[in-house]
Amino acid sequence: MPRNISFALTTDQIRNRAKTVTRRRGWRFLEVGDVLNACVKCMGLQPGEKIERLCQIRVTSVRREPLREITREDCVAEGFPGMSPVEFVDMFCGHMGGRLSQEVTRIEFEYLEVTQ
């Protein structure tokens, strides 16, 4: 069964398929080919709240890199076409913690089509 991955801050970008890259603290265990359930929220659910799955994605590339190495192209792939790399890093650190020099896991993925 695929592992769940939260996209609480970028739910709209996942829904409209604008996001193909995500950066995470941790997630060092991922490998190319892994399938994940993209979800609105996976942790911190209130009593009675259920996980809302958005779609399934397959990892196409995974590597560790300093957060400060994000490019303008990756800001677009992250679902933030109007954001500069500096703005993205500020937003990331504001929501996830850490600092500019921290190493993060850069995960590139593709959307899997659901067949009924």
**What per-residue string of b and e applies to 55-77 under the rule 16 or more CB within 10 Å gives b?**
bebebeebeeeebeebeeebbbb
Longest dimension (CA), the chain: 45
> pLDDT digits over 44-58, tens only?
767 877 888 999 999
> pLDDT digits over 11-37, tens only?
999 999 999 999 999 999 999 999 999
Using an 8 Å Cβ cutoff, are 57 and 109 in contact?
yes
| CATH number given to 3-111 | 3.10.400.10
Domains of the chain, residue spans: 3-111
Cα dihedral across residues 10, 36, 44, 29: positive or negative: negative
Q: Which structure tokens are listed for 6?
A: 């939260």
Q: What is the pTM of this model?
A: 0.91
pLDDT band at 115 (very low <50, low <70, confident <90, very high): low
